[in-house]
A and B are shown apart, each in its own frame.
Chain A
Amino acid sequence: MHPTRTLPDESLAAELLPPLLVALGVLAAFAFGLLMLNQYRADIWPYLLTGALVGSIWASGSLLRRGRLQAAGSLTAHALALLPIFSILAFGLAGNPLIYLSALGVAAAGLLISPAAPLAMARTALLTLLAFLVVPPLIGRPIASLSDALAAGLTSSLLLCGVAVLSWAGAHNVRGTIGWALETSAKSERREALLRRAQADLERTVRERDQLNDRLYRQSLELAAAKAQAEAAFRSKSSFMATMSHELRTPLSIIIGFSTAMIEHPEMYEGEPLPPSYINDLAEIKRSGEHLLRLINDILDLARVEAGRLELNKTVLPITPLLEEMVRTAQGLLKERPVILRREFQGVLPTVIADEMRVRQVLLNLVSNACKFTSVGEVAVGARVEENEVVLWVRDTGIGIAEADQPRIFDQFEQVESHDTRQHTGTGLGLSICRWLVELHGGRMWLVSELGKGSIFYFTLPRVQGAGALGERTPASTLALAE
């Protein structure tokens, strides 16, 4: 069987070895004192010396066992080992060889207790002593008195015990000396201390966790409060926006309304039409008012889109009627200009899922741009079907956009410089909103253009698979709004 260094064995050795060795040391000191008494019966020194030895062994043992004051314990142990040697010198050659033996015994006990000495060395020392003791002829003198015999017997049994203990320790694969045992005991104490510390750590961690939990809970409460506050602020902001837009629109509708009435309905003014010079300025007032109204609408739209609040009323939307409507719109916008209007779509186009009003807004924006910037040539409205989407475009042979300007054409308030700003008024928000709206539908928007030759604005809308299926139309999209 191979003895293993399991924890119970280790701790058993650690628990047993120190008291055993201390007991042996005490007994050795007793034997030494007995021999001394036998030699110097009348003297006080043997009593004192024996007392000091027993006391110091006991003290060193208990000190070392506690694992504290190790340095002091070790010092005592070395003093113990040295004391008999000095006592031999002090008492001289007493004539009794046993005194050497017992002195050596004490030295061995001291050696055993010393944390530094190796176990094998202590065992060898004890065995040597035992050999000397059990071979009387080597000593060269017969044992005379009873006390001599007692001392010899005590010493030899002591040595036997020591050897037995050390062999037992050896059998348990215990290395080193009592120092090791003490260290093990110290180790277990350290382990215990570590455990206590770990427990304290754990408790602290648990406490900290509890505190953190508390804090988290408080924070979640604060967060909920902040969220409610933000939502309230958001609601008040949107109601502010709604009120604001209403407040802005009301006077504008009056400005536009009266200028329209003055230009178109002289019957409201006793049937007397205004002189043309007035009409021109009124038309300017009307146009500026309409521009301002468009601007307000665009800004509100953009604010809604950017706040993620613009909701689409998606329905299954047929494209062809919408494109036909755009062609008619373009016709009206181009009026007498020498511009050819083309339909670049054929047959019945598939349906898409889209917000009709928003798609119309995008197309209207592109078509009115195309008509605005084209004085001669062509304007086309087109569409083609691809696998998952429908690509729509508005093409013109107008002024075009320089390549350098193209990347920022979709930015807010970006307008490519125009020579005739009065002719080409716009909010600078239209294309930006268009792209937002297309992206909101899950489509893309881009352009192909060359300065002086014209532009094509493309955008895509996701297709409905299995065209012709009539989706339910929300009431909002069927709103009878006179536009």
Chain B
Amino acid sequence: MAKILLVDDVYTARSMTERVLKHVGRYEVIAVGSGEEAIAAATECTPDVIVLDISMAGMDGLSTLRALRAQGITTPVVAYTARTERALGEFVGQGFDAYVQKNGNLSNLLTTIREIVGK
């Protein structure tokens, strides 16, 4: 069973995504609420995929990604954000492996993770 590290600072959003990934996607999910926790969990639990919110209070998604890569963690990272597609474009080339818009459409995230895990 693939292991997914979910990083989102909004509790409700995090728990919803967590439940979707667990019950619908049948993944093992470790959910954390900040970039710092994410870095700790990434080294500890060696997840297969990291689902990372971009707009987070404190350490945001981009700096979390950089910190992860700086520590030599090469786990694929999916940017998962409520920002518009257009705003997502600004993050292209920043090193994320995929981008998914957080718009309530749950299957988008599931499809993307399945593609990465299946690779």
Contact = CB atoms under 8 A, between A and B. Distances in A.
Interface of A: 242, 245-246, 249-261, 264-265, 267-268, 286, 289-290, 293, 297, 300, 313, 357, 475-476, 479-483
Contacts of B84: 245, 297, 300
Nearest to A296: B84
A253 B112 contact: no
A253 B82 contact: yes
Given A265-B23, A267-B24, A481 B85 contact: yes
A288 to B, nearest CB: 12
B90 to A, nearest CB: 9
B59 interface: no
B98 interface: yes
A68 B86 CA distance: 86
Interface stretch (B10-18, B27-35, B37-45, B62-70): B10-18
B46 interface: no
B111 to A, nearest CB: 6
A249 B102 contact: yes
Interface in B80-96: 81-89, 92-93
B20 A261 contact: yes
B89 A261 contact: no
A265 B106 CA distance: 10
A256 B23 contact: no
14 contacts: A246-B81, A250-B102, A251-B12, A253-B82, A254-B104, A257-B13, A258-B16, A260-B106, A264-B106, A265-B20, A267-B24, A357-B85, A476-B92, A481-B101
Contact of A261 (B12, B19, B83, B112): B19
Contacts of A290: 104
> Does more than half of chain A's interface fall in helix, strand or loop, or is it mixed?
helix
Given A260-B105, A482-B100, A482-B108, A242 B20 contact: no
A451 B119 CA distance: 53
A246 B101 contact: no
A299 B88 CA distance: 18
B112 A479 contact: no
Given A246-B55, A250-B82, A268 B104 contact: no
Contacts, number: 94
Contacts of A267: 23-24
A286 B87 CA distance: 24
A293 B92 contact: no
Contact of B13 (A254, A289, A476, A482): A254
B69 to A, nearest CB: 19
A254 B12 contact: yes
A294 B4 CA distance: 30
Contacts of B88: 479, 481
A313 B89 CA distance: 10
Contacts of A253: 13, 82, 102-104
A250 B13 contact: yes
A475 B92 contact: yes
B112 A242 contact: no
A267 B93 CA distance: 37
Nearest to B85: A481
A480 B82 contact: no
Contact of B89 (A242, A255, A259, A476): A476
B82 A260 contact: no
Contacts of B81: 246
B16 A257 contact: yes
Nearest to A297: B84
A104 B23 CA distance: 141
Contacts of A249: 82-83, 102-103
Nearest to B13: A254
B89 to A, nearest CB: 4
Contacts of A242: 83, 87
B16 A261 contact: yes
Contact of A268 (B12, B23, B99): B23
Nearest to A248: B82
Nearest to A478: B92
A297 B108 CA distance: 19
A286 B104 CA distance: 9
B105 to A, nearest CB: 7
Contacts of A268: 19-20, 23-24
Nearest to A257: B104
A246 B83 contact: yes
Most buried by A among B17, B19, B98, B109: B19
Contacts of B100: 481-482
A253 B12 CA distance: 10
Contacts of A482: 100-101, 108-109, 111-112
Contacts of B83: 242, 245-246, 249
Given A246-B55, A257-B20, A261-B19, A479 B85 contact: yes
